[in-house]
Every structure is written in C-alpha cells, then in structure tokens.
Structure 1
Amino acid sequence: MEVNKALTTRKAIRKFTDQQVTRTDIEAIVQLAQTTPTWVNSQSQRVYVAMGDTLSSIRTAQHDLVTSNAPLNSDLPMGHRSDWSTIAQQNMQDWNAGLVKTLGSDFRAKIDQEAANLYNAQAVVYLALTKGYSPWALYDLGAFGQSLMLAAQERGIDTMPAYQFIKYPQMLREHLSVTSDEDLILGIGLGYRDTKAPVNQIVADRMPLDAILTIQD
C-alpha cells in the first residue's frame, strides 16, 4: 500500500467486528513501527498488547468501572478543552457539530456506548514510558503510534487511538505486566471496521493547508 493511501484511508474506528487480529500481524506491525526515529536512538517506548482472555478481562473490569462512575485517574492527565488554543477549541466545536449531523443529538450516548465496550477492539496496544521521561520521548512515542497505525492499515487492520483505553491505569496494571515505574500514555485498538456502524461514518475535517503552513523562501 502506498503511503498516501494508508494515510487517507486510515480513520478512527469506533466499532470493530468480531474478526480476530492474529499474533503474527501484531508482531509484524510493532516491528515495523520500531523503524520510527527516536531522540539519539533512545527507543524509550514500551509496548504491551492485550488480546484474547486478557482483553476480555480488561473489558469486563472497565465496563464495571464506567457503570459505577469510577473517577478517572490516567497517568497522563487528560486536561480540559479550555487548556487548548483558540483555534484548537474551534476545531473541536466544529467536530461536535459534525457529530450531531452524522449521529443525531444523542451522539454522545452512542459514542459512549461503544467506548464503554472498548469499541469491540480485538487487540489493544498500550504504549508506555518510564516515569521521568523527557518531553521529547512523548514526541517519539506519538510518532511510534502513527507508524504503528499506518503499518496496521497496510495489512488491512483498522485502528482507534483513544484515551478510553488508558483512563484506568491501576486496573490495567492488575491485568498487564506494566511496572509501577511506567506511565501508560496511550492505547490503540486494533481490529476490522464494522462498515454498517453509524459511529464509523464520522468524518473529521482538516483545516485548509494555508491555515497551518508557512513557507518562507
């Protein structure tokens, strides 16, 4: 698959089918993502994958936490929309308006329903960093995550990068071998998109190129 096709066909999938992702595919995807450059070749990322019975246990535990309104305590603070720039906040508002058009006025309930089920992801990749990490390591981890998603797209596997996967880190540490000196930064769901699901029809528009690009010659 060409890079431009992988970039333009990849999208956030909020409902996956029950078709399983193989261990062989996951290993190949992560290995490809390892080619991502890092600061002085630091390779700070640590990768944990939950699938099968482990993921089923996590899904059940998360559902219980969500339904009991357990407080969120992610290792990387979520922050508030008001902390973002004016432009970013406007883009978020525009996206919300698009959700109403696509899913209706009850869009939040529909999205939350799929999120509570971890989008029916058939595998979840958890990206972690050792505590005390450099801000540059966060950049490197983001680049690693993008490479991983593009590698998955090349193999016909869809993805969903989401805060939902890592908002209960203490629960995750009960099911995964994440050490106490590591922060869980991001989770990426893997699977095959349910093409009939309304939540998968969401479109995220991009700003005009001249709104973000400055070329000085």
Structure 2
Amino acid sequence: MDVYQALNERHATRWFTDQQIPKATLEKIISAAEEAPSWVNSQPYQAHVVTGETLQSIRQEHQHLGDVGENGHADLPVMARSDWSAQAQNNMQAWSDGIAQSVGPDWQKIMGDAAGKLYNAQAIVYLTLPEGYSEWSLYDLGAFGMALMLAAKDAGIDSMPAYQFVSFPEEVRHNIQLENDEKLIMGIGLGYHDTKAAVNRITSTRLPIDQMTTFHD
C-alpha cells in the first residue's frame, strides 16, 4: 500500500470487531511510526500500548464513570466549540449535521454507547509528554500519531484517535504505570473495522485545496 492509498483509505473507525491484534504487528506499527520527524531529534513522547485484561479494566472503569454522569477532564485542555475559528465551527457543524443522515434518528445514543465502550478497540496506544513540554512537542506527537495510523493501515489495522480515550486520565493511571510527570495527551484505538456497525457509516469531507491552501510564487 502506498502512502496516497493509506491516506485515502484511513478513516475513523468508531466500532471494532473482537479480533485481537498480534503483538508482533503492534511492534511493527510502533517501530515504523518512530521514523516521524522530531524537533532536534528530541523524541519527547512515550507510547503505552494497552491490550488484554488491562484494556478491559480501563474500559469497565470508563463505562462506569460515564454511567454515573462524570464529566471528562483530560490532561490537555479542551476548548469549547464556540471558541474555535469560524471556519472550524462551520466544518464541525457540517459534520454533525451529516451524522443523523448516516446513522439514523438514534445517532446520539448509538454514538454514546460506542464511546462509552471505548469503541471496542482491541488495543489503545496512549501517547504522553513530560510535564513542562515545549509546545513544539505537540507537533512532534501529532506527527508520530499520524505515522502510527498510516503504518497501521498498511498492516490492515484501522484506527481512531479520540478524546474518549483520555477523558478520564485517572482511569488510565489506575491501570498502567506512568511516570509522575507524564501528561496523557492522546489515545489512539486500533483494531479491525466492523462493517456492520452503524457508527462506521459516519464520513467526513475535507476542504477543497483552494479553500485552505495559498500558493505564493
């Protein structure tokens, strides 16, 4: 699979099958992602790959916190939609408007149930940065995360980067050993796309190149 094919075929998977991912495949994906660029080769991030019983424990805690109405409080601050740029708000609204058409009238419940179960991901890669990280490190971590998802697609593995995975940092810290200064920045769910799941019918569009790119001769 070439990079253009991987970019075009990779989409957010909101429900995975129960098929597990071989550890050797996960190691191959992480190793490939390490080729992503990093400021002065600082490589400030850490990747924590969670599967099996540990993942199931995190999933159960996550679902319980949602059931009791606990609000998310990720380590990385979340900005209200109303504070985003006008262009971003328009894009988000267009995406939201299309969900009901794709999933049906019960889309809110269906999406909520999937999120509450962490999308049935068979592996979650938690990405962290040390406390006091340079803001440039967020670019490095994003590049690593995208490289990971493209490598996963090449290996036949689908992916989902989501706030849900890091919305309750304490549930992660209860189950995996993080250094005291590690900030939980993003979680990427991995697994095999469930073709029968309604939430996997959700699609998104990208801006035409002439609306987001300016060429300066």
**TM surpasses 0.5:** yes
Distance 1:64 1:180 in 2: 25
Per the TM alignment, residue 105 of structure 1 is displaced from its structure 2 partner at its CA by: 3.2
User: In structure 1, the residue corresponding to 2:185 is in which secondary structure?
Assistant: strand
For 1:36, give the aligned amino acid: A
Distance 1:70 1:81 in 2: 20
State, as a whole percentage, how many aligned pairs show the same letter: 49
Distance 1:71 1:4 in 2: 38
Which is worse superposed, 62-71 or 139-148? 62-71
Distance 1:85 1:24 in 2: 42
User: In structure 2, the residue corresponding to 1:53 is in which secondary structure?
Assistant: helix
For 1:105, give the aligned amino acid: P
Distance 2:157 2:52 in 1: 17
Q: How does 1:126-205 map to 2 (within 5 A)?
A: 126-205=126-205
Cα shift readout 1:94-148 (whole Å, capped 9, x = no counterpart)? 0011101111233221111101011000000000000111110001100100000
Distance 2:179 2:126 in 1: 13
Distance 1:178 1:70 in 2: 23
Q: How does 1:8-23 map to 2 (within 5 A)?
A: 8-23=8-23
Distance 2:178 2:112 in 1: 26
Paired position in structure 2 for 1:46: 46
For 2:112, give the aligned amino acid: D
Per the TM alignment, residue 180 of structure 1 is displaced from its structure 2 partner at its CA by: 2.0
Calculate the aligned-residue CA RMSD, in Å: 0.8
Distance 1:109 1:178 in 2: 33
Per the TM alignment, residue 157 of structure 1 is displaced from its structure 2 partner at its CA by: 0.2
Q: Please report the TM-score for the alignment, with normalisation by the length of structure 1.
A: 0.98
State whether residues 173 and 179 of structure 1, in contact with CA within 8 Å, keep that contact through their aligned partners in structure 2: no
Distance 2:30 2:55 in 1: 18
Cα shift readout 1:54-80 (whole Å, capped 9, x = no counterpart)? 001111111111101113221001221
Distance 2:6 2:20 in 1: 21
State whether residues 17 and 194 of structure 1, in contact with CA within 8 Å, keep that contact through their aligned partners in structure 2: yes
Distance 1:164 1:170 in 2: 13
Paired position in structure 1 for 2:104: 104
Paired position in structure 2 for 1:118: 118
Per the TM alignment, residue 92 of structure 1 is displaced from its structure 2 partner at its CA by: 0.4
Paired position in structure 2 for 1:35: 35
Aligned: 1:89 with 2:89? yes
Distance 2:132 2:81 in 1: 25
User: In structure 1, the residue corresponding to 2:94 is in which secondary structure?
Assistant: helix
Q: Please report the TM-score for the alignment, with normalisation by the length of structure 2.
A: 0.98
Per the TM alignment, residue 48 of structure 1 is displaced from its structure 2 partner at its CA by: 0.4
User: In structure 1, the residue corresponding to 2:74 is in which secondary structure?
Assistant: coil
Gap runs ≥5 in structure 2: none
